[in-house]
Structure 1
Amino acid sequence: MHSVLLALAACGLLTSAGRACADELTGTLRKIRDDGVVVLGVREASIPFSYFDGKRTVGYSQTIALQIVDEIRKTLGTSQLRVHEVTVTSSNRTPMLLNNQIDLECGTTAHTVERENVAAFSDSFFQHAVRMVTRKSSGITDFPDLAGKPVVTTAGTSDERLLRSLNTDKQLNMRIISARDHQEAFNAMKEGHAVAFVMDEPIVYGLKATDPHPDDFIVTGAPLGYEVYACMFRKGDEPFRALVNRVIAHSQTSGDAERLYRRWFTQPIPPHGINVNFPLSEQNRALFAHPNDHALD
């Protein structure tokens, strides 16, 4: 009996009643076991979270996703599990999850109360403010300065919703441009199609740092709001939620998350060795000390 319990525990499938086996897998874990592959939704240009470095997808949240894949392998008792990456955007990531085209997305998706209606979210792995990046020469320092001007953000993001609400509530009469992805939005600002790019603070710091002339730009504005990033997966899948949260919580409370943070936000990163220079905030330090899955809106 003792050996049976050990075997079940090793599979990560032991229930409180002591009944479990691989054939009783449900939801995402069963899909992954049957397919022999876990499908990750990844981003092309969410530096330094999830981005293509010319050879492969890398980044802070991509590393977290791969740590989760390792835990899935242990849980299913197989080293043969393949990883298939599918590039997603802010607009299509949720439909692709709901249509079973991806199993897990750990890019730069904000966990919001509204999104809980269609998807499930892990413990948060990053807290941030929503601000903007603009040219230093623009004279823009805060959101009221955007009145009557063209402003760009990324389509399908919570930031777009915040920006449109601000535009209506404060009657700023901004002309809001919705770009396909973060790089396209930054380029629109850089090329003069918009005076500012409104987005998550670490994203705009990353794009600014990777530009050939980073000192031409400034991140500014009182925070439009605060949000948290989390991994996204299908609703109603408690075994998968428990697995994902186990990985994230252990990383945060063991100190691994802080080391991972330093690797991607305060040290040179591929492919060109730039440094985002975005030190760990007290909010993220508190998050790591007390893992949770609370939306901030």
Structure 2
Amino acid sequence: MAGSSPSPSPSPSGEDEEGGGWRAAPLVALNYALRRRLSLLLNPGAAVAADWASLAEALGYEFLEIRAFEAHADPTAQLLHDWQRRASPPATAGALLDALRRLHRHDVLADLAPAIEEDCKKYLQRKREEQAERPVQVPAVDSSFPRMSELRGITTQDDPMGQFPEMFDAFICYCQSDLPFVQEMIQELEHTDHKVKLCVFDRDVLPGTCVWSITSELIERRCRKMVVVISDDYLESEECDFQTKFALSLSPGARQKRLIPVKCKTMKKEFPSILRFITLCDYTNPATKKWFWMRLAKSLLLP
């Protein structure tokens, strides 16, 4: 037929062969190469085809928000990054495909839809394998391992049903005495053009659940990176010590650039030895202070 798609596209039902519903997979399932390809297709403005700005409008963004994306070298990537942080509407692969279909970007669908489906199925398969590998616990004997219900609704913007957990760019590891610096970090990274979403325990985590369970969940599954705010008081904090060592265990040798140390104050004590091999972001250095927030923001927004 004349109106048929030039290449295979995802099934209308959105179900994979196992009935798992790959279209409901969150946008985080899409890999970097696929996102880059999407940027190459949508970034160039063209009078005859809908571009990234049209996609932003289709996803519910307002005029001023769209104008803000124009300042970025890769507006499509910034749009996807911002959209997957929004609580509503959910940023899913299916929603992305539906928006592109409404914009009549059948060329993009023909090029990327099979890859999107493949990424989503791989993502869901990994999740199923992770779930299967968890040890079975008998509650009457040992309830130390957190139940799934315990990890639902742990942050202020969480979905209570656990289907769309709140995600963050970075978990902030800090001690209470350094909270004023963390508040400055919030102003510089969240309320500026950087638009970094931080996980600040005192602000974002709801009370009533085991601290260690929540911390592990946030660092490992909800936050792409972790900022360690270093000071003399940090060295005395058991919570900070646990968080740092847990994050390092997830990325031995800092291979994934997952952990970013930030020196917020002049120190009298020795800098922690376990962080010496990772590049430091030094807020106390007057010669580089004017570049401090820009460097930190770019580090946190790296894939």
Please indicate the TM-score interval, normalised by the length of the shorter structure: under 0.3
The structure that is strand-richer by fraction is: 1
Greater RCO structure (CA 8 Å; 6+ sep): 1
Q: Normalising by the residue count of structure 2, what TM-score does the alignment of the two structures yield?
A: 0.25
Q: Normalising by the residue count of structure 1, what TM-score does the alignment of the two structures yield?
A: 0.25
Larger Rg over CA atoms: 2
The structure that is helix-richer by fraction is: 2
